[in-house]
Amino acid sequence: MSNEPTSTNRYSDLTADELLLYLYKKRSRAKDSLTILSRYRHFIEALETPVGQQLLIDALNRHDELLLKISAIDATDAEKMEYLALKNILNKWSEKIANYYSELNKIKEATNVKPNS
């Protein structure tokens, strides 16, 4: 089977053969990896849409604007609160993205496939 993703593969960056090989090699660790991939897959798919990408860009831009105001000591209390809330959200998003791609790359490495960068 080629290294191209199959249309029936739940993890679009992996082929069925790669998943089977990983499951065979890693057994108990594979369960944890698949759980993480399942948990964050819809989030990653949403971020890959044009709307998801725009939301992420808008959140990052607003974060930067607020950080500049706070650094310049020009931020209102409301802006400081908005910054903290946005920072918390972006930290959670970042953790989900990092965890998803970390597990995906572990599978790729275990099956001798070049990991995503």
For residue 6, the model assigns a pLDDT of 36
Residue 53 CA to residue 50 CA, distance in Å, equals: 5
DSSP 75: -
- Report if residue 4 sits inside a domain: no
Classify residue 64 by burial, with Cβ atoms within 10 Å: 0-12, 13-18, 19+. exposed
Structure-token match 């931020």, residue found: 75
For residue 94, the model assigns a pLDDT of 94
Total of domains in the chain: 1
Range of the domain at 20: 16-110
Q: Is the pTM of this model over 0.85?
A: no
For residue 105, the model assigns a pLDDT of 85
- Report if residue 6 sits inside a domain: no
Helix H or strand E encompassing 55: helix 50-71
Token pair listed for 67: 């950080």
- Report if residue 5 sits inside a domain: no
- Report if residue 35 sits inside a domain: yes
Residues with Cβ within 8 Å of residue 69, at least 6 apart in sequence: 75, 79
Residue ranges of the chain whose pLDDT lies below 70: 1-14, 16, 19-29, 112-117
For residue 117, the model assigns a pLDDT of 47
For residue 8, the model assigns a pLDDT of 37
Q: Is residue 79 helix, strand or coil?
A: helix
For residue 103, the model assigns a pLDDT of 86
- Report if residue 11 sits inside a domain: no
Residue 71 CA to residue 57 CA, distance in Å, equals: 21
- Report if residue 10 sits inside a domain: no
